[in-house]
Structure 1
Amino acid sequence: MKITAVETLYTHEFENVLWVRIHTDTGLVGLGETFYVASAVSAHIHDTLASRLLGRDPLRIEAINRDLVDLPLAQASTGAEYRAASAIDIALYDLWGKATNQPVHQLLGGLCWDKLRIYNTCAGYQYVRNRDIRPVNTWNIGTEGPYEDLKGFMTDAGALAENLLEMGISAMKIWPFDPIARQSNGLDISAAQLNEALKPFELIRKRVGSQMDIMVEFHSLWNLTTAKRIAGALEPYEPAWFEDPIRMNSSQALADYARCTRVPVCASETLGSRFSYKEMLDRDAIDIVMVDLCWTGGLTEGRKIAVLADTYHKPFAPHDCTGPVGFAAAVHTAFSQPNTMIQESVRAFYTGWYKELVTEVPTIRDGYVWPMEGPGLGTDLRPAVFERSDLVVRRTEA
């Protein structure tokens, strides 16, 4: 089997999602995905990486992955180069599964779990729908359906928690500190601002008590001094974890933060390659290892990071607040790893726009996700995607 063409696709409506399709001389096509800077990633794939792919055996995944990430600007990064390599890697695993008639989780070692607990990231239908990806700007609160959970946690987090529990979902992630960080550039928080940001936690605990686990997302917006102050104020509400409280570019600073709180530190969707994670783990700066497969090297690198986390006796928690193919890839990886703690999900996405784009989404029921079925990733782009008037396609052939 040889690679005959590399194709990229994105739409103007969902302008952050980029799909990669790897075509072969057998007629099999592998599907991959990444998120953010779609046009830049597409350019890198066609201008730089396609020549490294065409004519090669697509099942030599490890060797191809090394070739794609060994470029000078691609190493230990989550920029366009690494996102491109990630999407291609996911597509190659999809191809491998289709060629062998096996689901991707089987190729990764088989199921370690019959079902996995999920948490709901409380985004809404319009969240990260455009390129203006900054705190608050990303919010784009809409009214497209019953799961506008961003508005929910900002207006009545207690009612939202109760609604999630009714669906069997007993963990939720919120980020009420982001608007304040935008005002102060993450440098400081007043007593009044702190009390305002704590209200969602008060409402959740008052309404549902300890039935709900609360993950706190900080989006790397705070300096260390203020992040420590916020951590101390949050501890009485027993958060499940603190995620990316500061920028993930100093293992020493993050280790300092981790020592100041008894709440586990989760990091980080922003880290690229296992080498960045190892530095953080060596300093005991991370308690829970989060990986976004679409940004950190695909399934090849993601699996290595999960194994690395297990070596340090740390749990693994795949990230997903991006696109539907990435979600499927994360679920396959989660099921294949013995140290998987929980899987991220966004109900506004998997009950909403994901279904407009792909043929299958993971089954989520009673607060758990079930393994994907079928060969490869078990999902594909819907035929309607190829008929969209806003679709941008670029193809490089042998």
Structure 2
Amino acid sequence: MEIKEIRTLILNDRPNQLWLEIETDEGVTGLGETFFGAQSVAAYVHTVAAPHLIGKNPLDIEGHARALKPRHGFRSNGAEIRGNSAIDIALWDLMGKAFDAPLHTCLGGASRNEIAVYNTCAGYNYLKPSVRLAQARSLDWGGTEQGPYDDLQAFLDTPEDLARSLIDEGYTAMKIWPFDRAAMKHGGQYIDREDLEAGIDIVRRIRKAVGDRIGIMMECHSLWNLPTAKRIARRLEEFDLEWLEDMVRPDDIGALAELSAFTSTPICASELMGTRHNYRDLLEARAASVVMIDLTWCGGPTEARKIAAMADTYSRPVTMHDCTGPVSFACGVHLSMHAPNAMLQEMTRAHYSSWYRDVVDGLPLVENGRVMAPQSPGHGLSLSKGLRKNPGLQVQVTRQE
């Protein structure tokens, strides 16, 4: 079996999203995905990665991952790592199809057959546009639109109703980010008492409405300096949160370690860290209690399973990131089924119920707050006919001569 063609697909309506297909001479095709800087990733794929892969055996996944390890940007999740992530996912998907086995079986088998999900409370258009750098640090990425799962606006305006809605659907935890607007005000260097109390009040209203029937994760998008992060963390301790996520930049391991030692609330970090070498530094410093992984940003399943295993040796649970795309979600579910130290799977019900279904077929089944182990070969997803017929779809191809 040889790789004969590599395709990248970018939809004008979702310019941050990149899908990648690897097709073999035997007609087996694997699907990958990554997010942010899609045009830069496509350029890397076709000019650097594709010349290496064309004509090679797609099942030599570990060898390809090593060969494509970049000379520059190897400790980041830049365009090279994101491109390699999409390639790696596609190769694992292709392997599953070649052997008629689901991805979690190919990784070494399942540790469980289902896992609890928590809802990231984003809206339908969260992260949709190709944002400018200044906008990319805004609370309202993509704005909102009316619908039953307009959860970003709901946690700001009616957090009590949102919590009840999630409990009714079986969710046991929710993630919110009520302090982001305050961070915009002073560049993350200081928080006014009024803004601090406004953010605290949203958490207090949830606890008053439903008690501890739902867990709360606090996302902070790496917007705060350390002194302000400590101030917010101390005020939140009374609410017994599941974790504080990315309060400070995850590339400052010392600040993360200091924050972790300062607060009784678990620290979660971070899908933004890139490859296993950064996670090694995080774990050696005991700077986080929960390790977050995004398979479309870390190097794909090849790298993610190594990160999960490394976290396990430090007695740390892992959780897989979602809100960037359906392939990311599906692959996260497979690794959650495989990794013995997986604790929860992130999902965004606004995305799962809307645009994920528009662009792919075969999403994992979510029922009563739990996602089931997919049983289709590979990760189980394929691009929908509707996406392929979309006039705004840009397709770039590198094929065997």
- Using structure 1 for the length normalisation, give the TM-score: 0.98
Match of 1:393 in 2: 395
Matching of residues 251-330 of structure 1 within 5 Å: 251-330=253-332
Match of 2:384 in 1: 382
Distance 1:312 1:263 in 2: 18
Cα shift at 1:141? 3.2
What SS does the corresponding residue of 2:324 show, helix, strand or coil?
A: coil
Moved more, 118-127 or 368-377: 368-377
Cα shift at 1:137? 5.7
1:17-59 C-alpha deviation (Å, 9 max, x unpaired):
1001001000011000001111110011001111110010000
1:320-346 C-alpha deviation (Å, 9 max, x unpaired):
111011111111111001000000000
Distance 1:320 1:73 in 2: 27
Residues 1:178 and 2:180 aligned together: yes
What SS does the corresponding residue of 2:191 show, helix, strand or coil?
A: coil
Distance 2:121 2:388 in 1: 30
Contact 1:141 1:148 in 2 (8 A): no
What SS does the corresponding residue of 1:210 show, helix, strand or coil?
A: coil
- The residue type paired with residue 96 of structure 1 is M
Moved more, 302-311 or 372-381: 372-381
Match of 2:99 in 1: 100
Contact 1:135 1:179 in 2 (8 A): no
- Using structure 2 for the length normalisation, give the TM-score: 0.98
1:247-302 C-alpha deviation (Å, 9 max, x unpaired):
11121111001000011100001101111011111111010010000001000000
Distance 1:139 1:167 in 2: 25
Cα shift at 1:191? 1.0
Matching of residues 68-83 of structure 1 within 5 Å: 68-69=68-69, 71-83=70-82
Match of 1:243 in 2: 245
Cα shift at 1:138? 4.3
Cα shift at 1:386? 1.2
RMSD: 0.9
Contact 2:139 2:180 in 1 (8 A): no
Match of 1:156 in 2: 158
1:343-390 C-alpha deviation (Å, 9 max, x unpaired):
000000111110000011111111111011211111100112111110
Match of 2:34 in 1: 34
Contact 1:141 1:151 in 2 (8 A): no
Contact 1:174 1:215 in 2 (8 A): yes
Aligned residues: 397
Contact 1:65 1:300 in 2 (8 A): yes
Distance 1:162 1:138 in 2: 23
Matching of residues 1-20 of structure 1 within 5 Å: 1-20=1-20
Of 200, 206, 223, the match for 1:221: 223
- The residue type paired with residue 60 of structure 1 is D
Moved more, 315-324 or 128-137: 128-137
User: How high is the sequence identity, in percent, across the aligned residues?
Assistant: 44
Q: 1:285 to 1:119 in 2, by over 3 A?
A: same
Match of 1:23 in 2: 23
What SS does the corresponding residue of 1:341 show, helix, strand or coil?
A: strand
What SS does the corresponding residue of 1:396 show, helix, strand or coil?
A: strand
Cα shift at 1:199? 1.5
Cα shift at 1:145? 2.1
Distance 2:285 2:17 in 1: 34
Contact 1:185 1:221 in 2 (8 A): yes
- The residue type paired with residue 29 of structure 2 is V
What SS does the corresponding residue of 2:265 show, helix, strand or coil?
A: coil
Contact 2:41 2:82 in 1 (8 A): yes
Distance 1:239 1:75 in 2: 34
Cα shift at 1:224? 0.4
- The residue type paired with residue 145 of structure 1 is G
Distance 2:345 2:292 in 1: 10
Unaligned runs of 5+ in 1: none
Contact 2:144 2:152 in 1 (8 A): no
Match of 1:187 in 2: 189
Contact 2:203 2:239 in 1 (8 A): yes
Match of 1:60 in 2: 60
- The residue type paired with residue 161 of structure 2 is A
